[in-house]
Amino acid sequence: MYRHINQIKYRIDIQGEGPPVLLLHGFTGSLHTWDQLVENHKDSLQFIRVDLPGHGETIGGTDFTMESVCGDLNDLLDELSLPNVHVLGYSMGGRTALSFAMLHPTRVRSLLLESGSPGLDSTHEQLARQVKDEGLAEEIENNGVEQFVAKWENLPMFESQKKLSSAIQESIRHERLNQSPSGLAASLRGMGTGIQPSWWDKLSVFPRKVLLLTGEKDDKFCNISKEMNEHFQDSTHKIISQAGHAIHVEQPRIFGTIVREFLLEVEEYENA
């Protein structure tokens, strides 16, 4: 289904019964990122999946920001009559989930970040990353998605995915190739790590339970989550063996079990 929110036509999908969980995919992904999680656990959880701006079948302008997208998600929950939800985000979706939690904390029942980040904590780092992301955006616009994907899937953080079956690798590649150059470029410019707000100095005020998930082969994000875990009031950091950046792809059953158990434990605690 589609929902018009402000200037964007969002593609959303709602399946399952139980506590509501908002799912936010990563860069070059779509709501189909979560197909296996939804299929395996829709008996006990209600999943709300969204194609983020610049991705999938969501249609809209190129003038969006992390803050405006979080505002749209807030409005979406109003339209769905959901006062609050659990929020799970992967990579870029993790940054979006955390930004949503910081900007609209009363809408978040718990927060789950898979290979997430609070952004960059110095102006120097932010400006350098903005320059890098602008160069990447121009490269995508000039050379197209196919050439970009060939480069993107060979980044070190995706190295462990090369051990997956050819069918799974092809499914991931298909999802990446099914994006538009203008959409990916707009996402980098509006929601990139360098341009988004840094939340490092705000993590300690977030009052809800937080689950941080990283793969043991993803050193960069293991270190980021380890540091985040020291800032949150009530967080747990789990490192998943035999997985890299995309745990939900590389260890889907373990990932789904951990997510489900955490969410149901939060529900039990909240309702006690």
Distance, in Å, from the CA atom of 55 to the CA atom of 53, rounded to the nearest integer, reads 5
pLDDT cut 70: percent of the chain above it: 100
Is the per-residue pLDDT at 190 higher than 90?
yes
Question: Where is average pLDDT lowest: 38-42, 58-62, 217-221?
Answer: 58-62
* Tokens at 230, concatenated: 């020291």
At 270 the pLDDT is 77
Nearest Cα neighbor of 91 from 42, 137, 36, 155 is 155
Confidence label for 258 from pLDDT (cuts 50, 70 and 90): very high
Residue 37, in any domain of the structure: yes
At 247 the pLDDT is 98
Residue 182, in any domain of the structure: no
Residue 68, in any domain of the structure: yes
Residue 200, in any domain of the structure: yes
Q: Residue 74 sits in a domain of what CATH number?
A: 3.40.50.1820
Condensed to tens digits (0 to 9), the pLDDT of residues 31-44 reads: 999 999 999 999 99
Number of domains in the chain: 1
Mean pLDDT, range 7-29, rounded to an integer? 97
Is the per-residue pLDDT at 6 higher than 80?
yes
Which pTM value belongs to this model?
A: 0.97
Residue 104, in any domain of the structure: yes
Distance, in Å, from the CA atom of 7 to the CA atom of 24, rounded to the nearest integer, reads 19
Residue 160, in any domain of the structure: no
Domain boundaries, position 17: 2-121+196-271
